[in-house]
Amino acid sequence: MKGILEQLYIDPGYSVTELSKLLGISRTTVSNSIKKLKNQGIIERVGNNKKGYWKIKR
């Protein structure tokens, strides 16, 4: 999850697919990690899935 957060600091507009390719992990792993980060209140999605971005709250 740390790698995902680091990438989202660089570009909050990254998609799950882009994060997967950058980090060399599966899309499922990225999706599960993002879900955990959202449930913990660390990130939130602003806007829609196409034109939105990830806001890091902490």
Alpha-helical runs (H) found in the chain: 2-10, 16-23, 27-39
Going by pLDDT thresholds of 50, 70 and 90, the confidence category of residue 1 is: confident
**Residue range 2-56, CATH number:** 1.10.10.10
Report which of 9, 22, 1 is spatially closest to residue 53, judged by C-alpha positions. 9
Which residues on adjacent β-strands are paired with residue 56? 43
Tens digits of per-residue pLDDT, 23-48?
999 999 999 999 999 999 999 999 98
pLDDT, residue 39, reads 96
- Hey, where are the domains in the chain? 2-56
Separation between Cα atoms, residue 3 and residue 50, nearest integer Å: 22
Number of Cβ within a 10 Å radius of residue 53: 12
pLDDT, the chain, mean: 94
pLDDT, residue 14, reads 94
Whole-model pTM: value is 0.87
